[in-house]
């Protein structure tokens, strides 16, 4: 039975997880709380009526608290600069300085470049590239001063360069651009911070049947056998946010590889 270990590997640490109303973000928030972290669960969806997909930050927090964990829901639209600032300031006033930042939030349209509007393009870049950059800028000074901290960015296999002579594409060019930029940001920042006690990594989940993935019909007959449980991603993310930051940093990782490398047994979630 899933339970919270108040004395787990993240005991007393403050973690912010964006895009945590459902899917991968929700799973990460719950897994971190199970290891003793005080978790800020952030997204735009507070009430069920806020979004057509299931899942809210209030419910995620309720699940964590019911299991004996500590969490707080802070609504944030990461396309809005003021709300990005507020997310960190409210976190600090609620729990204290941020020890772990997980940049998971995403907004995505799968459209060919020729049909992509400037507004949608800028929104995707704001949420998936600039928001992680700015949130990281806000929490880094404290991490560096304390000599400890973790930044984990959530990417996708979409960041891998496709074959130009292969049919398809499915309108994922802008999404791939965002994730490729996030990966380069990760490795560059890891280099800048090496030796300062702050680990910076990026991880891709593989194919997980989250509400968003199902909605966008990204699972089909050709790939359905490769679908992995969300618990695997949560476990891999946890492993990249504790330990020796000098040896676990600058990674462009994939969940299945992390599970295998460290011999992890994914835990059930609360």
Q: Evaluate if residue 226 carries a pLDDT over 60.
A: no
Q: Per-residue confidence at 215, pLDDT binned at 50, 70, 90? A: very low
Lowest mean pLDDT among 74-78, 133-137, 202-206: 202-206
Question: Measured between alpha carbons, how far is 12 from 158 in angstroms, rounded to an integer?
Answer: 35
For the ranges 80-89, 106-115, 168-177, which has the lowest average pLDDT? 168-177
User: Annotated active-site positions, please?
Assistant: 175
Give the pair of three-digit tokens for residue 68: 């004996």
- As a whole number, the mean pLDDT across the chain is 91
Annotation: CATH topology of 14-262 = Rossmann fold (3.40.50)
Whether 223 has a pLDDT exceeding 70, the answer reads: no
79: confidence class by pLDDT, cuts 50, 70, 90:
very high
Bridge partners for 103 per DSSP: 153
Q: pLDDT of 53-78, one tens digit each?
A: 668 999 999 999 999 999 999 999 99
pLDDT band at 228 (very low <50, low <70, confident <90, very high): confident
> How far is Cα 104 from Cα 18, in angstroms, rounded to an integer?
5
Q: How far apart are CA 66 and CA 183, in angstroms?
A: 35
First-to-last C-alpha distance (Å) of the chain: 8
Using one digit for the tens of pLDDT, what is the confidence trace for 176-187? Answer: 999 999 999 999
């Amino acid at each position: 039975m899933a339970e919270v270990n108040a004395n787990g590997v993240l005991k007393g640490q403050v973690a912010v997880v964006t895009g945590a109303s459902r899917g991968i973000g929700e799973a990460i928030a719950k897994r971190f709380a199970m290891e003793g972290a005080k978790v800020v669960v952030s997204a735009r969806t507070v009430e069920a009526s806020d979004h057509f997909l299931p899942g809210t930050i209030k419910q995620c927090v309720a699940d964590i608290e019911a299991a004996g964990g500590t969490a707080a829901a802070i609504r944030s639209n990461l396309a809005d600069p003021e709300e990005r600032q507020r997310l960190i300031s409210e976190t600090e006033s609620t729990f204290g300085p941020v020890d772990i930042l997980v940049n998971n939030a995403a907004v995505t349209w799968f459209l060919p470049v020729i049909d992509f509007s400037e507004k949608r393009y800028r929104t995707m870049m704001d949420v998936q590239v600039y928001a992680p950059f700015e949130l990281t800028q806000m929490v880094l000074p404290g991490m560096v001063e304390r000599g400890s901290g973790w930044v984990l960015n959530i990417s996708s296999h979409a960041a891998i360069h496709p074959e130009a002579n292969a049919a398809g594409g499915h309108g994922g060019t802008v999404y791939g651009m965002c994730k490729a930029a996030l990966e380069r940001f990760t490795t560059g920042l890891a280099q800048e911070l090496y030796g300062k006690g702050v680990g910076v990594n990026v991880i891709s989940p593989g194919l997980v049947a989250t509400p968003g993935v199902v909605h966008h019909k990204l699972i089909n007959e050709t790939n359905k056998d490769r679908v992995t449980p969300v618990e695997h991603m949560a476990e891999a993310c946890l492993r990249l946010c504790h330990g020796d930051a000098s040896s676990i940093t600058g990674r462009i990782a994939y969940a299945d590889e992390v599970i295998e490398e460290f011999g992890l047994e994914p835990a059930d979630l609360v």
